[in-house]
């Protein structure tokens, strides 16, 4: 069996997508950077950046692919709530994509207050042409994100669920992961037989993303682990 391919581009995500010919046979998983990572932006400017970048990803994805967003809201210091699922939905309306699912991934135990970030993250799927297989419904509330390589990373369990969805609903042979960070999505995609393309502006994280491996695990609820 041919092993799955991986490449990581150390460039700005927006430049990379703008330079691509029409994308084929791929789906996209994005975890877009938070407002706190843009000290030069006001909240209004960051929201505009977030919406226009999400719209670019959805516009560039092929009709027969899906675009998944893994995002965590922010409880802002002024007592308002920054709802990233709403921003993704606004971008989807402009791109002509429809929402296929909105899953909630627990980050902390229920029935207790959390500060700064809520006790859950969103996992959202959008597509222009794919429709959900409603008879094969999967869980909407996921009890754990799974092990991570760093605090801003996607967890192994959330990543596996995202890629399983792409494998069962599309014919995509490649996962494109803009803002790939340390590369857990690329590693899980390869372990599940899909090619993976990462885009990351930090050279250090891009190098890690090119090397990171995961290993199937029967004993971990994540389905994978980082150690052999
Ligand atoms: C929330 S983290 C993504 C984490 C990743 N999903 C993981 O599991 O490790 C966002 C990443 O986006 C990168 N980034 C931010 N703006 C970028 C841009 N315009 N182009 C490329 N990478 C960018 C940051 O360096 C950071 O590593």
Distance in Å, CA 88 to ligand 1 centroid: 17
What is the Cα–Cα distance from 128 to 207, expressed in whole angstroms?
A: 33
What is the per-residue pLDDT for 2? 77
Nearest CA among 159, 213, 211 for reference residue 8: 211
- Choice from 181, 187, 202 to test ligand 1 binding pocket (greatest atom count within 8 A of CB): 181
Percent of the chain whose pLDDT exceeds 90: 98
Average pLDDT over residues 2-8: 94
What is the per-residue pLDDT for 204? 98
How many residues in the chain? 228
Strand pairing category for 98-106 and 141-142: parallel
Give the pLDDT confidence of 142-161 residue by residue, as tens digits: 999 999 999 999 999 999 99
Shortest-distance Cα residue to atom 7 of ligand 1: 153
Give the pLDDT confidence of 21-76 residue by residue, as tens digits: 999 999 999 999 999 999 999 999 999 999 999 999 999 999 999 999 999 999 99
173 lines ligand 1 (CB under 6 A): no
Shortest-distance Cα residue to atom 13 of ligand 1: 179
- To the nearest 5 percent, what fractions of the chain are helix, strand and coil? 30, 20, 45
Give the pLDDT confidence of 76-124 residue by residue, as tens digits: 999 999 999 999 999 999 999 999 999 999 999 999 999 999 999 999 9
Distance in Å, CA 138 to ligand 1 centroid: 28
Backbone angles phi, psi at 142, to 5 degrees: -105, 125
Given a contact cutoff of 8 angstroms between Cβ atoms, the answer to whether 196 and 185 are in contact is yes
**Chain centroid, CA 72 distance in Å:** 11
Shortest-distance Cα residue to atom 26 of ligand 1: 181
What is the per-residue pLDDT for 1? 65
The pTM of the whole model exceeds 0.85:
yes
Given a contact cutoff of 8 angstroms between Cβ atoms, the answer to whether 162 and 139 are in contact is no
Distance in Å, CA 99 to ligand 1 centroid: 23
Shortest-distance Cα residue to atom 11 of ligand 1: 179
186 lines ligand 1 (CB under 6 A): no
pLDDT score of 203 more than 70 = yes
């Amino acid at each position: 069996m041919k092993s799955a391919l991986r490449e990581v581009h150390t460039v700005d995500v927006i430049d990379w997508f703008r330079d691509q010919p029409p994308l084929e046979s791929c789906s996209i998983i994005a975890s877009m950077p938070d407002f706190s990572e843009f000290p030069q932006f006001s909240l209004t400017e960051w929201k505009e950046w977030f919406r226009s970048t999400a719209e670019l990803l959805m516009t560039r994805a092929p009709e027969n692919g899906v675009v998944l967003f893994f995002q965590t809201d922010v409880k802002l210091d002024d007592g308002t709530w920054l709802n990233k699922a709403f921003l993704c939905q606004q971008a989807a309306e402009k791109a002509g994509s429809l929402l296929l699912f909105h899953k909630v991934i627990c980050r902390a135990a229920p029935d207790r207050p959390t500060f700064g970030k809520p006790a859950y993250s969103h996992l959202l799927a959008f597509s222009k042409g794919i429709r959900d297989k409603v008879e094969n419904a999967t869980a909407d509330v996921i009890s754990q994100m799974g092990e991570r390589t760093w605090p801003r990373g996607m967890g192994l369990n959330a990543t596996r669920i995202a890629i399983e969805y792409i494998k069962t609903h599309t014919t995509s042979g490649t996962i494109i992961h803009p803002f790939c960070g340390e590369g857990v999505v690329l590693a899980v995609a390869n372990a599940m037989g899909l090619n993976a393309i990462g885009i990351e502006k930090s050279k250090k994280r891009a190098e890690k993303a090119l090397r990171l491996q995961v290993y199937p695990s029967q004993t971990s609820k994540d389905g994978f682990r980082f150690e052999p």
